[in-house]
């Protein structure tokens, strides 16, 4: 089992980062009922860990007995009948799924599953909670229509189920939903937090983790706890006992982006752009999200830039990131950014060095 | 009683088409059949139950005998194959014939009144304007079929191509030269519903065209080779006298031509049509040629037709049918035919007119000939001829109003493009792309000569005028989806830009990015309403048009320093391949997208879990459920699943190393349709 999963805290008490939020959540559950919740924050901050711990707090260990189901949902949309395949993870008490998997049919999925859940409301003699919990991932990737229908369904079935929404960016969730939920922001753990978690894991695994290495792993992870732990484990596999100045390898796609950045800076020409396009395609076909590629590329390019160019380059990166959200074919926008950068950088080089 | 009804119906018919007194012959074989049938029914007074059977027979018989009537005046032995290209010409011919008989008796031999298209239709192989290789291909196929029918995988040949490129002509002339008997499916003349309701009393059932067609194919499969099956053979269309004489020894090899498929609008009908054709392709008893005319253009109905024909072609190819695609006839080919015809007809149209016709007909030889005939009327010196033409002409060619006649007459015979000959030009996608990518503009010298100075722009925004039609016109002629155009342009534009012009490249890719945004905006397909009324302009159409315009014009404008012209190849967008791989991979990895009782989003999975996982020793995301939480776990299916997934994950991991090594290898060119762009 990966350390990430092995040492994931299972109760709100054992949480090592965001202890304050955990305590608040615990108190909230103690009141007996809970509102709809919206967790948002960057990837690897611990949203899911908190959600699972919260579910366990509500329902006891039973909530962790999950089964994975992939079943087609039959949805009647007006006159048409749709069949949508969807994978859900569910226990007796909750159902979790990513509605954005259903693509443009996401809104039917949201309605249908919530309806379905509301039908089979748990009626326990023992007097447990009279509602089920629905965990929706990646709410920010839902289409607008789906979000609106989510809002309506939320109101209609609020007596039967509670929603826990989880997303990276709350700004992509419509106001109407945000105002109906208790918003909980999960910030990225600080470097110190990450180091302390790693030390905790090292102690459990009986490893000696030098502080320097821990620091560098934490730094490289960009305040992403999951990435840090994965990277830590990779370091362990690579070499143990650890040495203070052991190299922390970046993931291969990150290395690849660095390579692209180097390509761009060394030569600016249509021919080079063509090569870069090939590499971008390679990343895209390996399912690396274009936004992340762009962001990473920007970071890499920034390292090599004079400060007078940084503002302009950032501007264009933001411009094309926005375009990417509006459009469909990410490569057009990624490439437009690269071309723009080449153009700016070349002009700069000619102006300064002739 | 029936009689009176009959005559009443006739009266109705007459009122409708007063002028068409000649229509009582073969022109409307269906109504004719009905009459015939009723007469028969009156004569024999059969029980109602038999009517249906009779009718089915009747349609063939009626046609046949009507044909006989029609034929009597005509030269019977000239050709045994009847040249019936379309109902239209048939009707027309017949009407003309009557006219001639009435007014110009005796002159008939002198003046062959048929349309030139029919009169000069090729009778032998050497007359054909089609590329000889295609002809040879068809010929070879027929020969193979005749030589050893058992060997052939399928006895079906599919000919495709635009209208008027001589698909039917090739088959017919080959059949003629090889002395084959041609049988053909002819779509029954449509009857209107109220016409049918007149017949309803006779008990004649309504048959849809597809029913007819299916019945035809059933019979074609079962009965035709039997020489005694005179009834069925008769139904197939024009029969030989040999059949009627009961003289099967003279039987020739047969060739079945299906030139016109019945309409099939919804899915069920399409299915039926496909099935029946499939059955025919597998089990036809003699060589069958299916002729399908390509549809060009967009629009809902055309799309439907396209889907239908594609389905049919795929279905047939699966059944082993051979497909030969005909290209439009070259300008020179058309010109040759036109000259020949002109020579025979002794008309004096100037040469530039001929070449203008040849160029404007876009490879449609039928149209070219009609245009030529019309044009030649203008150059006719003998007044008697035009008077002959007129009575027929004003009936058939209503749209070519007298006005244009006079115009052609009065105007001096300077080379004048025939007004009616123009067809909408269509461009191939590659042609259009080539125009955009090569970015042909006038040279500086030319610009200075014309010295246009209206609005003065800054130098950086000035471009020389384009040496092509408006980009929008080209786009509309290319009939391509905007996203396709954008993808092709994106894939290929880099090699058409000068190696130093980084700014241009940046501008172009900026425009392409705009295109993508416009395509997915508010007015995009996603927002397309279910029911479309094509009279209204839908927002998505505007968005589509705008975005393709931005792509094309943006490219043309921003490519200020085109690469020196050289031979280039166009690649198919690798974007599509990448997208496919992306989805494949996403689906593949979807099963692993959860760890420790919750989901992992795909972006996390691919950016964090995967890259690390392949570095770690065998790990299993599926079994990530801590054991202490399952003290009371009765063995449930989920665990079995998880175990399976564990194994899965292991095998995946070993392979994931390979998947994740980003070796930049030359993209496989399996889908790369390399296509040349000529220098335009």
Q: How far apart are CA B302 and CA B306, in angstroms?
A: 6
Picking from B570, B599, B623, the residue at the C-terminal end of a domain is B570
Question: With contact defined as beta carbons under 8 Å apart, do B62 and B32 qualify?
Answer: yes
H helix or E strand, kind and range, residue B301: helix B300-318
Query: Cα–Cα distance between B67 and B74 in angstroms, integer?
Result: 11
One domain, residues B498 and B606: no
State whether B585 and B544 are in the same domain. Answer: no
pLDDT band at B455 (very low <50, low <70, confident <90, very high): low
Q: How many CB pairs under 8 A join A and B?
A: 224
Give B1: exposed, middle or buried? Use CB within 10 Å, 0-12, 13-18, 19+.
Answer: exposed
What pLDDT is stored for residue B193 in this prediction? 66
Please list every residue in chain B whose beta carbon sits closer than 8 Å to the beta carbon of residue A6. Answer: 624, 626
Has domain A3-185 been given CATH number 3.40.50.300? yes
CB contact under 8 A, A1 and B581: no
User: In this structure, is residue B302 part of a structural domain?
Assistant: no
The answer to whether A137 contacts B589, with C-beta atoms less than 8 Å apart, is: no
Considering the domain architecture, whether residues B503 and B520 belong to the same structural domain is answered as: yes
In a domain? residue B656: yes
Write down the pLDDT at residue A265. 92
Average confidence score pLDDT of chain A: 85
Domain assignment present for B361: no
Picking from A99, A91, A100, A14, the residue whose alpha carbon sits closest to that of residue A49 is: A14
DSSP B606: I
Is A205 in the B-facing interface, judged by CB distances under 8 Å?
no
Same domain for B616 and B535, yes or no, is no
Same-domain status, B629 and B528: no
Percent of chain B with pLDDT over 70: 49
Q: Which of A108-117, B184-193, B475-484, B488-497 has the highest mean pLDDT?
A: B488-497
Q: Which range marks the domain in which residue B651 is found?
A: 577-660
Q: Which of B550, B570, B590 corresponds to the end of one domain? A: B570
- Say yes or no: B589 and B566 in one domain: no
Confidence of residue A152 (pLDDT cuts 50, 70, 90): confident
Find how far residue A224's CA is from the centre of its chain. 10
Looking at the fold, whether B436 and B531 belong to one and the same domain comes out as: yes
Give the least confident one: B59-73, B159-173, B553-567: B59-73
Taking only the tens place, the pLDDT of each residue in A225-261 is 888 888 888 888 888 788 888 888 888 888 999 999 9
Classify residue B183: in a domain, yes or no: no
Highest mean pLDDT among A74-83, A190-199, B188-197, B469-478: A190-199
Give residue A302's pLDDT band: very low, low, confident or very high (50, 70, 90). Answer: very high
pLDDT-based confidence at B528, cuts 50/70/90? very low
In a domain, B591, yes or no: yes
Tally of domains within chain B: 2
pLDDT above 70 for B205: no
Q: Where does a domain end: B516, B541, B570?
A: B570
Nearest-angstrom CA–CA distance, B258 and B141: 16
Same domain flag for B522 and B645:
no
Nearest neighbour of B638 by CB, restricted to A66, A333, A335: A66
As a whole number of angstroms, the distance between CA A23 and CA A29 comes to 10
Task: Say yes or no: B528 and B622 in one domain.
Answer: no
List chain B residues with CB under 8 Å of A4: 595-596
The answer on B490 and B552 residing in a single domain is yes
Interface list for B 471-530 with A (CB within 8 A): 483, 486-487, 490, 494-495, 497-503, 505-506, 508-510, 512-513, 515-517, 519-521, 526
Report the C-alpha gap between B615 and B618 in whole angstroms.
9
Q: What is the DSSP string of A100-122?
A: GGGGGGHHHHHHHHHHHHHHT--
CATH code for A252-353? 1.20.272.10
The answer, for A127 touching chain B at a CB cutoff of 8 Å, is no
pLDDT digits (tens, 9 = 90+) for B262-303: 766 677 777 887 888 777 777 777 788 888 877 655 555 566
Residue A108 tokens read as 């039917």
Q: Is the pLDDT of residue A282 over 50?
A: yes
ipTM rounded to 2 decimals: 0.83
Verify whether the Cβ–Cβ distance A327 to B609 is below 8 Å: no
Q: Give me the DSSP letters along B356-385.
A: HHHHHTTT-HHHHHHHHHHHHHHH---HHH
CB B107 within 8 Å of CB B96: no
Same domain (yes/no): B437, B550: yes
Percent of chain B with pLDDT over 90: 1
Interface of A with B in 21-50 (CB under 8 A): 43-44, 48
To the nearest whole Å, the CA of B651 is away from the closest chain A CA by 16
d(CA B27, CA A288): 67
* Angstroms from B615 CA to nearest CA on chain A: 6
Pair (B475, B497) in one structural domain: yes
Q: Which of A66, A292, A340 lies nearest to residue B603, judging by beta carbons? A: A292
Q: Nearest CA to B169 among B238, B118, B111, B212? A: B118
pLDDT in tens, B551-572: 999 998 888 888 887 777 888 8
Packing angle of the helix pair B267-283, B300-318 (nearest 10 deg): 30
User: What SS3 string covers B129-172?
Assistant: CCCHHHHHHHHHHHHHHHHCCCCCCCCEEEEEECCCCCHHHHHH
């Amino acid at each position: 089992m990966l350390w990430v999963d092995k040492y994931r805290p299972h109760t709100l008490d054992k949480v090592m980062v965001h202890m304050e939020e955990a305590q608040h959540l615990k108190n909230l559950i103690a009141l007996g009922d809970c509102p709809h919740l919206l967790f948002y924050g960057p990837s690897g901050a611990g949203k899911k860990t908190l959600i699972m711990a919260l579910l366990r707090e509500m329902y006891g260990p039973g909530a962790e007995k999950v089964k994975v189901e992939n079943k087609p949902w039959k949805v009647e949309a007006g006159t048409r009948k749709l069949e949508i395949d969807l994978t859900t993870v569910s226990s007796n008490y909750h159902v979790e799924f990513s509605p954005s998997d259903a693509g443009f049919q996401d809104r039917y999925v949201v309605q249908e599953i919530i309806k379905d859940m509301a039908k089979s409301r748990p009626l326990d003699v023992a007097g447990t909670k009279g509602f089920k919990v629905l965990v929706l991932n990646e709410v920010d990737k839902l289409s607008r229509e789906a979000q609106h229908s989510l809002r309506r369904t939320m109101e209609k079935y609020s007596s039967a189920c509670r929603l826990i929404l989880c997303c990276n960016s709350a700004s992509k969730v419509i106001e109407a939903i945000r105002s109906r939920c208790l918003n909980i922001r999960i910030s990225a753990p600080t470097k110190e937090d990450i180091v302390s978690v790693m030390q905790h894991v090292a102690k459990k695994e009986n490893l000696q983790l030098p502080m320097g290495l821990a620091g560098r792993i934490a730094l490289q992870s960009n305040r992403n706890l999951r990435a840090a732990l994965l990277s830590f484990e990779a370091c362990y596999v690579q070499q143990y006992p650890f040495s203070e100045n052991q190299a922390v390898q970046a993931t291969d796609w990150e290395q690849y982006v660095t390579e692209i950045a180097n390509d761009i800076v060394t030569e600016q020409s249509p021919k080079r752009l063509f090569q870069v396009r090939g590499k971008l395609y390679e990343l895209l076909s390996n399912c690396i999200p274009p936004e992340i590629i762009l962001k990473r590329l920007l970071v890499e390019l920034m390292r090599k830039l004079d400060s007078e160019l940084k503002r302009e380059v950032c501007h264009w990166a933001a411009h094309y990131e926005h375009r990417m959200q509006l459009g469909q074919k990410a490569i057009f926008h990624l490439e437009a950014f690269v071309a723009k950068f080449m153009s700016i950088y070349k002009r700069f080089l000619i102006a300064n060095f002739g | 009683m029936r009689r009176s009804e009959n005559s009443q119906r006739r009266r109705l018919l007459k009122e409708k088409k007063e002028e068409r007194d000649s229509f009582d012959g073969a022109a409307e074989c269906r109504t004719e059949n009905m009459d015939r049938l009723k007469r028969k029914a009156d004569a024999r007074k059969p029980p109602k139950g038999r009517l249906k059977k009779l009718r089915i027979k009747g349609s063939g018989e009626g046609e046949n005998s009507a044909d006989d009537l029609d034929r009597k005046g005509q030269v019977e032995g000239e050709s045994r194959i009847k040249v019936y290209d379309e109902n239209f010409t048939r009707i027309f011919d017949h009407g003309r014939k009557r006219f001639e008989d009435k007014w110009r008796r005796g002159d008939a031999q002198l003046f062959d009144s048929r349309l030139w298209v029919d009169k000069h239709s090729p009778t032998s192989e050497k007359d054909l304007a089609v590329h000889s290789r295609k002809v040879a291909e068809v010929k070879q196929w027929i020969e193979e079929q005749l030589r050893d029918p058992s060997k052939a995988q399928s006895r079906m040949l599919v000919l495709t191509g635009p209208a008027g490129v001589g698909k039917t002509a090739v088959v017919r002339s080959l059949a003629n030269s090889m002395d084959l008997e041609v049988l053909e499916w002819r779509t029954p003349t449509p009857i209107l519903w109220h016409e049918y309701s007149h017949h309803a009393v006779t008990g004649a059932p309504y048959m849809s065209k597809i029913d007819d067609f299916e019945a035809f194919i059933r019979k074609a499969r079962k009965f035709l080779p039997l020489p005694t099956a005179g009834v069925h053979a008769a139904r197939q269309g024009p029969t030989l006298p040999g059949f009627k004489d009961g003289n099967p020894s003279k039987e020739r090899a047969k060739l079945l031509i299906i030139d016109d498929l019945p309409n099939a609008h919804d899915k069920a009908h399409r299915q039926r049509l496909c099935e029946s054709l499939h059955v025919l392709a597998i089990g036809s008893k003699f060589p069958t040629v299916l002729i399908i005319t390509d549809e060009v253009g967009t629009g809902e109905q055309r799309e439907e037709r396209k889907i239908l024909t594609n389905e049919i072609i795929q279905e047939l190819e699966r059944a082993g049918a051979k497909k030969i695609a005909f290209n439009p006839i070259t300008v020179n080919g058309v010109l040759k035919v036109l000259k020949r015809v002109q020579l025979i007809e002794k008309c004096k149209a100037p040469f530039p007119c001929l070449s203008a016709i040849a160029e404007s007909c876009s490879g449609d030889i039928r149209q070219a000939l009609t245009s030529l005939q019309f044009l030649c009327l203008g150059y006719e010196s003998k007044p008697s001829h035009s008077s002959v033409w007129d009575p027929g002409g004003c009936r058939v060619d209503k749209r070519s109003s007298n006005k244009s006649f006079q115009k052609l007459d009065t105007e001096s015979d300077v080379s004048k493009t025939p007004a009616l000959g123009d067809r909408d030009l269509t461009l191939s996608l590659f042609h259009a792309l080539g125009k955009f990518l090569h970015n042909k503009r006038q040279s500086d010298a030319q610009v200075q000569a014309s010295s246009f100075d209206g609005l003065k722009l800054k130098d950086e925004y000035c471009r020389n005028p384009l040496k092509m039609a408006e980009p929008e016109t080209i786009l509309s002629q290319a009939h391509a989806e905007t996203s396709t155009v954008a993808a092709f342009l994106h894939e290929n534009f880099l090699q058409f830009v000068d190696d130093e012009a980084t700014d241009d490249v940046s501008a172009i890719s900026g425009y392409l990015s705009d295109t993508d945004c416009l395509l997915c905006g508010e007015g995009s397909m996603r927002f397309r309403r279910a029911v479309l009324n094509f009279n209204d302009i839908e927002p998505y159409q505007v968005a589509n048009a705008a975005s393709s315009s931005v792509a094309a014009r943006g490219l043309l404008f921003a490519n200020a320093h085109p690469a020196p012209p050289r031979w280039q190849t166009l690649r198919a967008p690798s974007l599509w391949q990448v997208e496919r791989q992306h989805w494949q991979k996403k689906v593949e990895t979807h099963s692993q997208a959860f760890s420790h009782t919750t989901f992992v989003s795909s972006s996390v999975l691919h950016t964090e879990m995967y890259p690390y996982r392949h570095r770690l020793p065998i790990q299993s995301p599926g079994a990530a459920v801590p054991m202490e939480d399952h003290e009371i776990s009765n063995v449930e299916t989920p665990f079995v699943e998880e175990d399976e997934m564990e194994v899965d994950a292991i095998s995946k991991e070993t392979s994931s190393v390979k998947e994740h090594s980003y070796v930049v290898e030359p993209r496989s060119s399996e889908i790369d349709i390399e296509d040349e762009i000529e220098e335009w």
